[in-house]
């Protein structure tokens, strides 16, 4: 087995609260195991450009609770080329980096697969507010984004209550409705619109009218950004069809910053520590996943296929090479995830009449 001299660590793609906590865990876990750590700044771009500096145990002081990423982030097109990937591997070798931990979303993991293919063992840690990685129950940053959104919407609710208004609130999440669904439930929204489940607009309008007739004064509707401009459309038709004065808010990047919650700090620390343990034990091309409370490694390529299956993006032949058992396991995970989403959505409906 390789005796690791140093490992590299980078953050890539959209930042997420808890990335710093994960970086700290990776760095300290490696140093405690006698391995040096090199911080790769600005994601894969910094790797290609050799923007790399050593990280010490004390360099990690005071970052656990900070949002953003002290390593900075980037979305790098050049790394998508074979030439870029070869250059990245050369830079790793020149810096005595024997393995890399990449912290980010699915784009970051695709980069990890490419780096492993160039002979640099790589491990992924899922960090994105979107919670849109099917292999893990939760991604780092999701809980914070949900809690920040709740705080914002609670404020909107106060002013809606005073003036008997509705507020349509669009939240981030890319194509995934997880943030919208969790926020919607936690704020007691009268309606939640996400891409994964067909939205019954007529039913929402009726609900608002009935609620108004029974004395309700605030009407919060949470819409996932994956539905495009649907939130603006809703904000237009609600006053026309129900007579309820309506405002519109897009929370956008404001929920991507800020201090990570306890849950995200825990998840980041557990995943960071486990990632180093796996890497030093000779595992590579795996991603850390939280499944039923346990942190487990899953093959990245398998995890990416599973993700594509969940998002219904699989193309003909993409599962060639996988056993029937693997495919059945992927299907079971997707079915479980879909059922959980549906269950939450139906529960939200029961709570919002
Ligand atoms: O993936 C995180 C995320 O914040 C998504 O929720 C959102 O769709 C996207 O990134 C925004 O990207 P950008 O940072 O390029 O505006």
Q: Ligand 1 mean position to 250 CA, how many Å? A: 13
Q: What's the Cα-to-Cα distance from 243 to each of 163, 164, 330, rounded to whole Å?
A: 13, 11, 47
Q: Which residue lies with its CA nearest to atom 6 of ligand 1?
A: 173
DSSP 314: P
Give me the helices (H) in the chain, please. 19-32, 43-48, 82-94, 106-117, 142-163, 178-187, 201-213, 230-242, 262-280, 300-310, 324-350
Distance (Å, rounded) from C-alpha 348 to C-alpha 353?
Answer: 9
Percent of the chain residues topping a pLDDT of 90: 99
SS3 320: coil
Per-residue pLDDT tens over the stretch 248-288? 999 999 999 999 999 999 999 999 999 999 999 999 999 99
Q: Ligand 1 mean position to 323 CA, how many Å? A: 35
The set of long-range contacts for 249-252, using a CB threshold of 8 Å and a minimum separation of 24, is 249/152, 249/156, 249/167, 249/168, 249/169, 249/170, 250/169, 250/170, 250/225, 251/149, 251/152, 251/169, 251/170, 251/171, 251/172, 252/170, 252/172
Q: What is the mean pLDDT of residues 105-133?
A: 97
Q: What is the mean pLDDT of residues 174-186?
A: 98
Please report the atom of ligand 1 found closest to the CA of residue 173: 6
Q: Which residue lies with its CA nearest to atom 15 of ligand 1?
A: 14
Residues with CB under 6 A from ligand 1: 14, 105, 128-130, 172-174, 225, 256
Q: What is the pLDDT of residue 1?
A: 62
Which residues pair with residue 97 across a beta bridge?
6
Q: What angle do CA 217, 160, 237 make, to 5 degrees?
A: 85
Cα 102 to chain centroid distance, Å, stands at 14
Q: Ligand 1 mean position to 260 CA, how many Å? A: 17
Please report the atom of ligand 1 found closest to the CA of residue 172: 6
For residue 149, what are the contacts with CB-CB under 8 A and spacing of at least 6? 169, 171, 179, 183, 251, 255
Cα 146 to chain centroid distance, Å, stands at 11
Per-residue pLDDT tens over the stretch 279-291? 999 999 999 999 9
Q: Is 130 a catalytic residue?
A: yes
Q: What is the pLDDT of residue 3?
A: 84
Q: What is the mean pLDDT of residues 94-117?
A: 97
* The domain made up of 143-256+339-351 is a member of CATH 1.10.645.10: no
Q: Which residue lies with its CA nearest to atom 9 of ligand 1?
A: 174
Per-residue pLDDT tens over the stretch 140-152? 999 999 999 999 9
Distance (Å, rounded) from C-alpha 198 to C-alpha 308?
Answer: 20
Q: What is the mean pLDDT of residues 167-193?
A: 98
Q: Ligand 1 mean position to 85 CA, how many Å? A: 24
Per-residue pLDDT tens over the stretch 210-243? 999 999 999 999 999 999 999 999 999 999 999 9
CB of 41 within 8 A of CB of 103?
Answer: no
- Ordered by start, the domain boundaries in the chain are 6-141+260-302, 143-256+339-351
Q: Ligand 1 mean position to 257 CA, how many Å? A: 12
CATH topology of 6-141+260-302 equal to that of 143-256+339-351?
Answer: yes
Per-residue pLDDT tens over the stretch 299-349? 999 999 999 999 999 999 999 999 999 999 999 999 999 999 999 999 999
Q: Which of 15, 74, 114, 130 is catalytic?
A: 130
Please report the atom of ligand 1 found closest to the CA of residue 13: 1
Q: Which two tokens stand for residue 207?
A: 């609900």
Report the mean per-residue pLDDT for the chain.
97
Q: What dotted CATH number matches 6-141+260-302?
A: 3.40.50.450
Q: Which residue lies with its CA nearest to atom 7 of ligand 1?
A: 174
Percent of the chain residues topping a pLDDT of 70: 99
Q: Which residue lies with its CA nearest to atom 8 of ligand 1?
A: 174
Q: Ligand 1 mean position to 42 CA, how many Å? A: 17
Q: What is the pTM of this model?
A: 0.97
Q: Which residue lies with its CA nearest to atom 12 of ligand 1?
A: 14
């Amino acid at each position: 087995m390789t005796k690791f001299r140093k490992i590299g660590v980078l953050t890539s793609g959209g930042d997420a609260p808890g990335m710093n906590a994960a970086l700290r865990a990776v760095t300290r876990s490696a140093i405690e195991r006698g391995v040096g750590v090199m911080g790769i700044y600005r994601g894969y771009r910094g790797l290609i450009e050799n923007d790399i500096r050593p990280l010490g145990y004390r360099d990690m002081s005071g970052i656990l609770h900070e949002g953003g990423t002290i390593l900075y982030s980037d979305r790098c097109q050049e790394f998508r080329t074979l030439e870029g990937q070869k250059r990245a591997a050369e830079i790793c070798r020149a810096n005595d980096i024997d393995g890399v931990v990449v912290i980010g979303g699915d784009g970051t993991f695709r980069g990890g697969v490419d780096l492993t293919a160039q002979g640099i063992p790589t491990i992924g840690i899922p960090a994105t507010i979107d919670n849109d990685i099917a292999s893990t129950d939760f991604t780092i940053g999701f809980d914070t984004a949900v809690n920040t959104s709740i705080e914002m919407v609670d404020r909107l609710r106060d002013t809606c209550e005073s003036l008997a208004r509705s507020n349509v609130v669009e939240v981030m999440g890319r194509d995934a409705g997880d943030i919208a669904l969790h926020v919607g439930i936690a704020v007691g929204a009268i309606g939640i619109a996400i891409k994964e489940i067909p939205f019954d607009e007529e039913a929402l309008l009726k609900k608002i009218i009935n609620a108004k007739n029974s004395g309700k004064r605030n009407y919060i509707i949470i819409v996932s950004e994956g539905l495009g401009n649907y939130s603006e459309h809703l904000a237009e038709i609600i006053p026309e069809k129900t007579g309820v004065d309506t405002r519109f808010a897009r929370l956008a990047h404001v929920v991507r910053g800020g201090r990570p919650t306890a849950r995200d700090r825990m998840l980041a620390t557990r995943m960071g520590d486990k990632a180093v343990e796996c890497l030093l034990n000779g595992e590579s091309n795996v991603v850390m996943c939280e499944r039923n409370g346990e942190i487990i490694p899953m093959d990245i390529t398998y995890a990416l296929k599973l993700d594509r299956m969940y998002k219904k993006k699989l193309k003909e032949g993409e599962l060639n090479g996988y056993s029937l058992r693997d495919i059945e396991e992927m299907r079971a995970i997707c079915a479980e995830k879909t059922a959980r989403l549906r269950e939450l959505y139906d529960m939200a409906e029961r709570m919002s009449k």
